[in-house]
Amino acid sequence: MSDNHPSGAPWRNFYGRFKGKGLRDSQKGYLDDLAHLSPGDIDWDTNPERHHIDLAALFGEKPVWLEIGFGGGEHMVHQAALNRDVGIIGAEPYINGVAMLLGKIRKANVDNVRVHPGDARDLFDVLPDESISKAFLLYPDPWPKKRHHRRRFVTPEHLEPLHRVMKPGAELRIATDIEDYVRQAMEEVPRAGFAWTAVRASDWRTPWSDWTRTRYEAKAIREDRTPHYLTFLRT
């Protein structure tokens, strides 16, 4: 039996949610923005040859950052407003989160973002090698049950293509409140070709200077879980 979809796409299991509770009418209107905020042909049906996205056509000569699973978009819009000389691509399959992000983009009046409302692995397929200058993985789905740990992002299936698309020396930031996620990240991320930068405890206990608290971090603190801020450099 072939491992591929008839379009040529590899079979990839997806275990998260695509949609939650009903969208408000205003949020449904925001989704109309997706057409012109798309980073390019990512679908296998429209790009079966997996041609690379033309990042220069999207952002000119700006360095390009990537946020993987942007949730409600608080951090992504914060960074876009703070760094207007950078282009930021966000990947998020949860359509309710995408709608929230689109509303925040309008309010912040930022134009240096592009949105892939889907699996980051499909985006990796079409990003050019060594094209991403910084990447963020912030409060990813923890998949707390041991039998589900292979679903976490910090596995070779995700980290190897991420390494390929990041520039040498590019920064990868991971924030999580789950200690076992920290353990797995510290095992798997260096194996994938990233060097941990911390030299003292404050390096992973203290948020980055340009950090903004997300709803997930606020929930973690309310529930008395400790955030961890891990910084790696792509080798």
Instruction: Please tell me the pTM assigned to this model.
Output: 0.88
What is the enclosing helix (H) or strand (E) of 132?
strand 132-138
Residue of 45, 141, 203, 210 marked catalytic? 141
For residue range 220-229, list pLDDT tens digits in order: 999 999 999 9
Residue in the block written with tokens 């703070």: 82
Question: Which secondary-structure segment (H or E) carries 98?
Answer: helix 95-108
Q: Are 192 and 160 in contact (CB under 8 A)?
A: yes
Give the closest residue to 93 by CA, choosing from 59, 70, 61, 125.
70
* Domains and their CATH numbers in the chain: 25-234 (3.40.50.150)
Q: Contact at 8 Å (CB) between 22 and 99?
A: no
224 in catalytic set? no
- Within 10 angstroms of residue 173's Cβ, the number of other Cβ atoms is 18
CB 63 within 8 A of CB 133: yes
Residue 15 pLDDT more than 90?
no
* C-alpha triplet 69, 201, 160: angle, nearest 5°: 35
Instruction: Choose among 50, 56, 86, 52: nearest CA to 170.
Output: 86
Render pLDDT for 86-142 as a digit per residue (tens, 0 to 9): 999 999 988 888 989 999 999 999 999 999 999 999 999 999 999 999 999 999 999
